[in-house]
Amino acid sequence: MRGTSSSTAVTRNTLRQQIADALRDEVLAGRLQPGQEFTVKQIAEQYGVSATPVREALVDLSAQGLLDSDQHRGFKVHQFSVDDYRGMVEARSLIVDGIFRRVAVRGSGGSGGVHGQSLVSVRRRAEEAARAARVGDLDILIGYDLRFWRELSSIVANRYISDFLHRLRVQAWVFAVPYLRGDAQVRDWLWNGHEDLVNAVTTGDADSVRVVIGAYNDHALAWADRLER
């Protein structure tokens, strides 16, 4: 009896995560727009599942700042402002700068930067993300960009920092996607310095790390300024 209950809980938790991932992808793809409302019942019918894992998935996404919940009206996609976006950039820049400065210092002290088999995967993500950015392919870019930063930060930072940065980047993409998809100059506003950052981190070049991270942050803030203009 205990085993059956445990199995049911595992299945429900897996389904909960799958639904949360699917809805997050819908938001990132722009198919669920900021401010769009829906109920647990609608999502359950859409995916052909019971209400319980759907409700749990929506609560998870609300805790991540991607959805707003209303006791009477259900849920809606959170609408971030330009100021929210600037706050995300500032928060992640402070943390990322500190992380990679430390890595660069270790490298300049003789350890030679960050190496290992795990960095091979990060470099592949960097190449694909940069390629997608240069051609303006948002669908490809978002996935590779998120995986690139998640894997790189997991190598150079602890799990709590890595999870926090990942959440900030998802939120930033949620804000940016509706604007970028309607922008004829989208290729000019997609950062493509992923490979430069991997090279700098690999060699432990402190100056190069600072330059790449600085350009990354400046690029994001310049885009925010453009939106307001």
Is residue 42 within 8 Å of residue 54, measured between CB atoms? no
Name the band, by pLDDT with cuts 50, 70 and 90, for residue 1.
Answer: very low
With 0-12 / 13-18 / 19 or more C-beta atoms within 10 angstroms meaning exposed / middle / buried, residue 68 is middle
What mean pLDDT do residues 145-157 have? 91
Which residue segments constitute the domains of the chain, with CATH numbers given? Answer: 2-77 (1.10.10.10), 82-228 (1.20.120.530)
Name the band, by pLDDT with cuts 50, 70 and 90, for residue 110.
Answer: very low
- Asked if pLDDT for residue 221 goes beyond 90, the answer is yes
Helix 159-181 to helix 82-106 angle (10° resolution) is 140
Euclidean distance between CA atoms 197 and 213, whole angstroms = 8
- Asked if pLDDT for residue 146 goes beyond 90, the answer is yes
Give the predicted TM-score (pTM) of the model.
Answer: 0.87
Which two tokens mark 19? 């639904």
Locus of tokens 């190069």: 208
User: What pLDDT does 182 receive?
Assistant: 85
Q: What is the DSSP string of 72-113?
A: TTEEEE----HHHHHHHHHHHHHHHHHHHHHHHHHIIIII-S
At position 186, the amino acid (one-letter code) is V
Is residue 69 within 8 Å of residue 58, measured between CB atoms? yes
Euclidean distance between CA atoms 9 and 210, whole angstroms = 46
- Asked if pLDDT for residue 114 goes beyond 60, the answer is no
Give backbone dihedrals phi and psi of 36, rounded to 5 degrees, phi first: -70, 130
